[in-house]
Amino acid sequence: MVKIIILDDHELFGHGVAKIIEAEDDLSVLKVFTDPNLLTHYIKTLQPNIVLCDIKIKDLNGLNIVKTYSKKYPKVKFIMLSGYNLEEYKIKAYENGAVGFILKDESTDKLVDGIRAVYYFNQNLKHDMVLAKPLLSDQEKEILRMIAKDMKNQEISEALFISKRTVEYHITKLIRKLGVESRLGAVIKGIKLGIIEESETKI
């Protein structure tokens, strides 16, 4: 059972999300709350696997909360909830230690799939369970293949016609998704998961 707590600025929204999650047999919401000062208490007493955290809570920045608590409690996975589909928010979220970023207007399926992807993948469960949910987007897979070919960020940027900053964002995101700490680690994990072939690598 995946144990979840929800920290959201709007209690009504938080309980709405909880109701959606509770409809799933393998997901359980232990607490919905609006006061970030209670986060330490609930992490210690309830021992959740995942914290769904609003990107803006009262007058505080949810990104800073995640930055502090993801370091303090490395076994707890933080997923950001946001009403704003801004690239800079996504980049900051992953840089600050979040392992997921879900828009508040996403479909029910995307919400629960996102939670499962974060939990099951980071727990290193069975290979077939990991592959049952596509954890890397098509673009992330393509970037991983380019990393395996020892291409630099600028080269990837030019090949995909996207900014270097966007490439860096995708690399940070896929490294976190794969549960590794480096580009090389991502390539090795990608080979193990069958995302890329060893023959494709030049590292």
Centroid of chain to Cα 152: 24
Q: What's residue 147's pLDDT?
A: 95
Identify whether the C-beta of residue 1 lies closer than 8 Å to the C-beta of residue 26: yes
List the chain domain ranges: 2-131, 136-200
Quick check: 38 and 15 in contact, CB under 8 A?
A: no
* Of 25, 31, 81, the residue nearest 57 (C-alpha): 81
| % pLDDT > 70, the chain | 91
Distances (CA, A) of 99 to 11, 12, 45, 108, 177: 23, 25, 22, 19, 7
- Distance CA(160)–CA(35), nearest Å, equals 43
Class at the top of the CATH hierarchy for domain 2-131: alpha beta
pLDDT digits over 118-168, tens only?
Answer: 887 654 433 333 333 456 888 999 999 999 999 999 999 999 999 999 999
Kindly report, residue by residue over 54-95, the tens digit of the pLDDT: 998 866 788 899 999 999 999 999 999 988 877 778 888 888
Query: How many residues does this entry show for the chain?
Result: 203
pTM for this one? Answer: 0.62
Structure tokens at 145: 């293949």
136-200 is a CATH 1.10.1040.10 domain: no
Task: Give the orientation angle of helix 138-148 with respect to helix 183-192, to 10 degrees.
Answer: 110
The two three-digit tokens of residue 104, written as one number = 């508040």
